[in-house]
Amino acid sequence: FLSGRTALVTGSTSGIGLAIACSLAEAGARIAVNGLGDQAQVDAALDAVRKAGSEDARHFNADLRDPDAIAAMMAGIDAWSPIDVLVNNAGIQHTASLAEMPVGKWNDIIAINLSAAFHTMRAALPGMAARGYGRVVNIASVHGLVASKEKAPYVAAKHGIVGLSKVAALEYAAAGSRDSGGVTVNCICPGWVETPLIEPQIEARRNGGSRDDGVRALVAEKQPSLRMTLPAEIGALAAWLCRREAHNVTGASFPVDGGWTTQ
Ligand code: NAD
């Protein structure tokens, strides 16, 4: 259902982004891969999306802290193939109390986890509306809905992207039609997902035990299912949101959190 469509997935050299890129590739999309990493990591990501079924995949290099680099990336992708599906997924984390949070970490987390999505959406949404089909899937977090201690910039950025997505959903709600698929903007709000991003938090809870002890301690704190989510499970939901029959699903935030935010 995505053949002939083009998807940009930011932060798709690793973790959830790579899994989403593979799910969209499986549905037939051309994939613009973005994210940091050495040539081997970029090549591995391109290989994975091609193997998943993408007819064409390219890496677009932009450090998302830099609005000029984002503008150049968006222009480059547009010249290659205009974006039908935009997944704002890139994100970083740093845990420290508010009083001890380094200012540089605040600035980077707000830039990557929130402002980058504003810049990409601002560039991509008008073209989606003109063509009558577009999907924006923003990877927020349970921390877009509730807070935890020691994550001030992360929680602020994730609440911000939930709000930003609602505004965009309203502004583009009437674009396109049922037949063309319309333009929708939604958030996915994962709890714990097994990726490199959370390794430091697993490490911090090992207490001299094994990595599995660290995982159990981390999950038990917040996630009643006591199971982590796999990146591919987020990919499956992102792909479903891109289907034509999801044309009226917009402005929503979907927790994938084993019950975390239902408590
Ligand atoms: P990850 O560390 O595996 O991947 C992050 C990706 O973002 C990488 O491709 C990295 O290169 C890219 N990135 C980081 N800084 C960048 C920059 N300046 N410019 C361009 N790209 C940059 O992390 P992940 O766990 O896959 O996280 C993906 C998203 O999911 C993030 O937004 C994160 O907040 C969110 N999330 C993760 C979890 C979880 O438990 N892992 C839970 C909720 C939400």
Percent of the chain residues past pLDDT 70, beyond the cut: 100
Q: Which of 154, 172, 192, 260 is catalytic?
A: 154
- Whether residues 222 and 94 share a domain: the answer is no
Out of 23, 36, 61, 159, mutate this one to test ligand 1's pocket (max ligand atoms within 8 Å of CB): namely 36
- Whether residues 14 and 115 share a domain: the answer is yes
- Whether residues 216 and 235 share a domain: the answer is no
Which contacts (CB < 8 Å, 24+ apart) does range 211-218 have?
Answer: 218/192
- Whether residues 105 and 212 share a domain: the answer is no
Rounded to whole angstroms, what are the CA distances from 100 to 7, 151, 155, 156, 160? 38, 11, 16, 16, 22
Instruction: Say yes or no: ipTM exceeds 0.90.
Output: yes
Are 253 and 144 contacting, i.e. CB atoms less than 8 angstroms apart? yes
Rounded to whole angstroms, what are the CA distances from 3 to 150, 159, 162, 175? 43, 33, 29, 21
- Whether residues 81 and 177 share a domain: the answer is yes
- Rounded-to-integer distance, Cα 239 and Cα 212, Å: 30
Question: Does a structural domain hold residue 21?
Answer: yes
Q: In the prediction, which pLDDT does 70 show?
A: 98
Length of the chain, please?
263
10 pLDDT band, cuts 50/70/90, is: very high
Type of residue numbered 25:
A
- Whether residues 84 and 61 share a domain: the answer is yes
What DSSP string runs through 229-260? BPHHHHHHHHHHHTSGGGTT--S-EEEESTTG
- Whether residues 217 and 249 share a domain: the answer is no
Residue 25 belongs to domain spanning: 6-191+230-255
pTM of the entire predicted model: 0.98
- Whether residues 54 and 168 share a domain: the answer is yes
Q: In the prediction, which pLDDT does 249 show?
A: 98
- Rounded-to-integer distance, Cα 70 and Cα 11, Å: 13
- Condensed to tens digits (0 to 9), the pLDDT of residues 167-216 reads 999 999 999 999 999 999 999 999 999 999 899 999 999 999 999 999 99
171 Cα to the center of ligand 1, angstroms? 27
Question: Does a structural domain hold residue 262?
Answer: no
- Whether residues 15 and 140 share a domain: the answer is yes
141 pLDDT band, cuts 50/70/90, is: very high
The Cβ-side half-sphere exposure at 61, using a 13 Å CA radius, reads 6
- Whether residues 23 and 140 share a domain: the answer is yes
- Counting the structural domains of the chain, the total is 2
Average pLDDT over the chain, rounded to an integer: 97
- Whether residues 107 and 16 share a domain: the answer is yes
